[in-house]
Copies of this chain bind each other. A is one copy, B any other.
């Protein structure tokens, strides 16, 4: 609402300025890459952006590793879609078995969706919750925004400054990261995330966030738009990854509820055991979410997503018309998602994320002590932000340096990317197959990449 000029003023980077290939860069590509880039440019719509100034052609993956077309191996520190590991055999096998048996839709009875939905709800704290399976996080959030409007009668949503909630018309209009393209809903109110790096303390970050929320609610109430609620990824991934201390923003839901709004927890990024503390990101803060949406990590790459809510919320939406999703909840999607849940359980991936993430952050913090440009190492479980700044004293974001580090890491065969309003936070979000044994390799490469990046300044 009252953005810090240093962080959110004219210096805010466009989403288009991030980690992406630009033909105009003049980067010299090898002949095969050059041919593929030219074919993409001719045949695919212009929206297809490639990562890296020197794009990578990935042809194979296993666990936490992928290989490019030349056979070179990369450590994947970025991708949460293959959430339990690239080409995880349990999910490959479950999908194969079900595809060879039956793919149909939810207008016929099938036991699989019921067994799975029971287990999915068991990760939450209310056994009455109801599930609708869709195909993508965008579809899930599109539905959630309409449900919130139906149940409250209000129109206006609140979202955080760099949030990205998906690609449909409605969800794009509620994704502040797309600001500047003229598509945002005029009733959307944008608030700053709890910037734990600059607030001084977790308490101060939480208080600032609640103050932002209060101001947005007041503005909506003054406008007459009617409060629908708050939609947020409570790990604030796109905003720069601010997990913070558990409970730090616990009051957010109470505040929204007190004003008649509802809370949508967008778990497309933090959910599915990654944060280590709890299965879902919003649970870390004890937030009383009314609707939970998920997508990316749910099927280890198979397009499956979900909306979970109390029956009264579903009923309010259903009163406004029917909803059907052809591919949503088909037996193969369910088999994939069920296999992911079982793998998280059988491999103990939540505890693994907690402990491995702790070790990884500890090693990164040791590296930070030697590098003045690593301003902050933060996160929860295997979702870590490394904020790069001009110097630790000023805490000024250095997005150009971060992009150079990302590119250097790519040359050193480690995949990651950036987030935050200045593209200056390294986003470390590996498949959960990432193991303690990968940490020395990751940290060594990051140290080398930091040196590379400084050398090219």
A135 adjacent to chain B (CB < 8 Å): yes
Q: How far is the CA of A57 from the CA of B282 in the complex (A)?
A: 36
* Contact (Cβ within 8 A) A82 B95: no
A36 adjacent to chain B (CB < 8 Å): yes
Q: How far is the CA of A205 from the CA of B89 in the complex (A)?
A: 55
* Contact (Cβ within 8 A) B318 A330: no
* Contact (Cβ within 8 A) B101 A46: no
> Contacts A61-B104, A87-B100, A100-B87 known; A109 to B44 CB distance under 8 Å?
no
A169 adjacent to chain B (CB < 8 Å): yes
Interface centre among A42, A110, A146, A303 (most CB of B within 10 A): A303
Tell me whether chain A's interface is mostly helix, strand or loop, or mixed: mixed
| Residues in chain B near residue A135, CB distance under 8 A | 135-136, 139, 303, 327
Interface centre among A49, A60, A324 (most CB of B within 10 A): A324
A186 adjacent to chain B (CB < 8 Å): no
Which one of A114-122, A207-215, A271-279, A350-358 is at the interface?
A: A114-122
| Residues in chain B near residue A303, CB distance under 8 A | 135, 302-304, 327, 330, 333
- A320's nearest neighbour on chain B, judged by CB, is B181
> Contacts A99-B87, A100-B92 known; A108 to B58 CB distance under 8 Å?
yes
> Contacts A132-B44, A136-B136 known; A58 to B110 CB distance under 8 Å?
yes
A199 adjacent to chain B (CB < 8 Å): no
CB distance from A182 to the nearest CB of B (A): 7
A70 adjacent to chain B (CB < 8 Å): no
Partner of A170, one of B118, B169, B311: B169
* Contact (Cβ within 8 A) A139 B110: no
A39 adjacent to chain B (CB < 8 Å): yes
* Contact (Cβ within 8 A) B114 A40: yes
* Contact (Cβ within 8 A) B108 A87: no
Residue tally, chain A, CB below 8 Å to B: 102
| Residues in chain B near residue A118, CB distance under 8 A | 43
Q: How far is the CA of A318 from the CA of B16 in the complex (A)?
A: 12
* Contact (Cβ within 8 A) A167 B324: yes
Interface centre among A20, A48, A325 (most CB of B within 10 A): A48
* Contact (Cβ within 8 A) B169 A47: no
> Contacts A37-B109, A142-B168 known; A121 to B43 CB distance under 8 Å?
yes
- A415's nearest neighbour on chain B, judged by CB, is B108
Which one of A233-241, A293-301, A444-452 is at the interface?
A: A293-301
| Residues in chain B near residue A130, CB distance under 8 A | 42-46
A9 adjacent to chain B (CB < 8 Å): no
| Residues in chain B near residue A82, CB distance under 8 A | 103-104
- A118's nearest neighbour on chain B, judged by CB, is B43
- A319's nearest neighbour on chain B, judged by CB, is B181
Q: How far is the CA of A178 from the CA of B20 in the complex (A)?
A: 41
Partner of A99, one of B57, B96, B111, B325: B96
